[in-house]
């Protein structure tokens, strides 16, 4: 079941170093890259069907094209601010194959006409930041980066300060500019992001790390994996009540239950599966009863009322209290709301504190209605998707496990 495109070199000793990376195929795609014109590179990415692997799942080539269509200075910003609970896949690339990321960045810069890239990395990822910086230094020494390279690309790492909201691309750019990490209003027409007023491609670590395979082997080789609408592979992260937690790459479209059993070794200690949060903490929970036909692709999980997100599956067994699980999530969202939008700032506080009553089993029917009401108020009335995501989390728990909340009402 496991398919290795991005993770091909993960288990090779010292795979993060230049010498080992070169022996195992790193930077081999650059020879083919530079035989293509920049627009031809974007066309190959488009034909491959590569979708963003940071949670949204939008077509990658469309973002590349928006940035490419602008003249002048342009930037490539890589989002390594991996702060979504249950998601820990990008750090595997940073730790085990940072040269793959650098190789992909060079391709993206060449395609859109940029010479400068920033990697915005989660502040807590000091170890991975150090490994990545060493790889960047090695690439400069080999003239793969810098003024003497075949194509000039400079890469700078910027460490964040631990704000979850800075995983949102416009808040990330605000932080990178030295401002408070507040999301920006979205334009009504398709546009690239802008860093200090210049067109910018903001993209996820794994998305960029998928590019060298496509450049070297062609769009059809990538489409040979996955489904028609969700081609390729994803690094799926398994955590929670699972026997073998970890990150395992697989094709889009595989059975969720088969993946949990085969790669994760099944539910820990022989317990029964109760539910799965399929794509990181901000995707709606799904009960085990709905997972028989669930497949790990964007369309399947959307049809079930959830989302693939980042592929960070949190497995919950029969002993998990859904009231306590929701409280744990809402405490996080309350803490991480940037406070810019009133429905989010006040709403996350309100639902978090309301859950305390359910935990203490002193809640009333009115408190349950307040949860539903505030959840509705938070959805679709804010600048970014933070509050709507929290609303979806609440609604998922209440839709599938309302009986457990009713048991806490006096």
Give all domains of the chain, ordered by start, each with its CATH number: 18-223 (3.40.50.11540), 233-317 (3.10.20.600), 322-406 (1.20.1440.230)
CB under 8 A, 24+ apart: contacts of 140-148: 141/18, 142/18, 144/27, 144/30, 144/102, 144/106, 145/102, 145/106
- In this prediction, residue 242 carries a pLDDT of 98
- What are 347's two structure tokens? 């709403």
Average pLDDT for residues 260-266, to the nearest whole number?
97
3-state secondary structure of 45: helix
How many whole angstroms separate alpha carbon 145 and alpha carbon 139?
A: 6
Q: Which tens digit of pLDDT belongs to each residue from 46-78?
A: 999 999 999 989 999 999 999 999 999 999 999
Residue 33 — pLDDT band, cuts 50, 70, 90?
Answer: very high
Please report which residue ranges of 162-311 form alpha helices under DSSP H. 169-176, 205-209, 211-217, 219-223, 256-262, 298-303
**Mean pLDDT for the stretch of residues 280-288:** 97
What does the alpha-carbon distance between residue 294 and residue 296 come to, in Å, rounded to a whole number? 7
pLDDT digits (tens, 9 = 90+) for 126-173: 999 999 999 999 999 999 999 999 999 999 999 999 999 999 999 999
Could you tell me the pLDDT band of residue 86, with boundaries at 50, 70 and 90?
very high
Query: What is the per-residue pLDDT across 165-222, written as a single tens digit (0 to 9) for each?
Result: 999 999 999 999 999 999 999 988 999 999 999 999 999 999 999 999 999 999 999 9
Confidence of residue 2 (pLDDT cuts 50, 70, 90): confident
Does pLDDT of 20 surpass 80?
yes
The pLDDT of residue 188 is 86
Residue 265 burial (CB count, 10 A)? 14
Helix (H) or strand (E) holding 251: strand 246-251
129, two tokens: 């930041």
pLDDT reading at 1 higher than 90: no
Max distance between CA atoms of the chain, in angstroms, equals: 72
| Beta carbons within 10 angstroms of residue 112's beta carbon | 26
* Residue-level pLDDT at 45: 98
Could you give the CA distance from residue 253 to residue 398 in angstroms, rounded to a whole number?
A: 28
Each residue's pLDDT tens digit, 369-384: 999 999 999 998 999 9
Mean per-residue pLDDT over the chain, rounded: 97
- As a whole-number percent, the residues of the chain with pLDDT over 90 amount to 97
* Through-space distance between the first and last CA atoms of the chain, rounded to whole angstroms: 48
Segment (H or E) for 202: strand 198-204
| pLDDT for the residue 260 | 97
Exposed/middle/buried for residue 391 (C-beta within 10 Å: 0-12, 13-18, 19+): buried
The secondary structure of residue 282, as a DSSP letter, is T
Where does residue 190 rank: exposed (0-12), middle (13-18), buried (19+ CB within 10 A)?
Answer: exposed
pLDDT over 90 (residue 94)? yes
């Amino acid at each position: 079941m496991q398919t290795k495109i991005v993770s091909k070199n993960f288990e090779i000793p010292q795979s993060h170093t230049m010498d080992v990376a070169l022996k195992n195929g790193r930077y081999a795609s650059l020879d083919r890259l530079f035989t293509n014109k920049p627009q031809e590179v974007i066309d190959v990415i488009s034909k491959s069907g590569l979708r963003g692997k940071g949670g949204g799942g939008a077509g990658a080539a469309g973002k590349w094209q928006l940035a490419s269509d602008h003249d002048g200075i342009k930037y490539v910003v890589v989002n390594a601010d991996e702060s979504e609970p249950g998601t820990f896949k990008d750090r595997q690339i940073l730790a085990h194959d940072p040269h793959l990321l650098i190789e992909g960045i060079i391709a993206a810069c060449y395609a859109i006409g940029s010479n400068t890239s920033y990697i915005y990395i989660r502040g807590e990822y000091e170890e991975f930041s150090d490994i990545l910086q060493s790889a960047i230094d090695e690439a400069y020494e080999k003239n793969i980066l810098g003024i003497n390279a075949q194509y000039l690309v400079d890469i700078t790492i910027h460490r964040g300060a631990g704000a979850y909201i800075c995983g949102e691309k416009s808040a990330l750019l605000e932080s990178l500019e030295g401002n408070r990490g507040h999301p920006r209003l979205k334009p009504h027409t398709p546009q690239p992001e802008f860093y200090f007023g210049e067109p910018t491609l903001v993209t996820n670590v794994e998305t960029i790390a998928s590019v060298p395979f496509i450049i070297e082997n062609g769009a059809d080789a990538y489409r040979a994996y996955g489904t028609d609408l969700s081609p390729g592979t994803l690094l799926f992260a398994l955590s929670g009540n699972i026997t073998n937690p970890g990150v395992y790459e697989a094709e889009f479209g595989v059975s969720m239950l088969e993946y949990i059993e085969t790669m994760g070794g099944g539910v820990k200690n022989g317990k029964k599966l109760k539910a799965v949060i399929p794509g990181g903490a901000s995707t709606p929970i799904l009960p085990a009863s709905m997972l028989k036909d669930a497949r790990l692709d964007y369309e399947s999980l959307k049809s079930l009322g959830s989302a693939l997100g980042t592929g960070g599956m949190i497995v919950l067994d029969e002993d998990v209290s859904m009231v306590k699980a929701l409280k744990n999530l809402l405490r996080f969202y309350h803490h991480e709301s940037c406070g810019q939008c009133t429905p989010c700032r006040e709403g996350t506080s309100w639902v978090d504190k309301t859950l305390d009553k359910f935990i203490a089993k002193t809640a009333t029917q009115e408190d349950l209605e307040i949860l539903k009401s505030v959840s509705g108020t938070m959805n679709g009335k804010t600048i970014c998707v933070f509050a709507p995501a929290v609303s979806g989390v609440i609604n998922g728990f209440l839709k599938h496990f309302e009986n457990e909340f009713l048991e806490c009402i006096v």
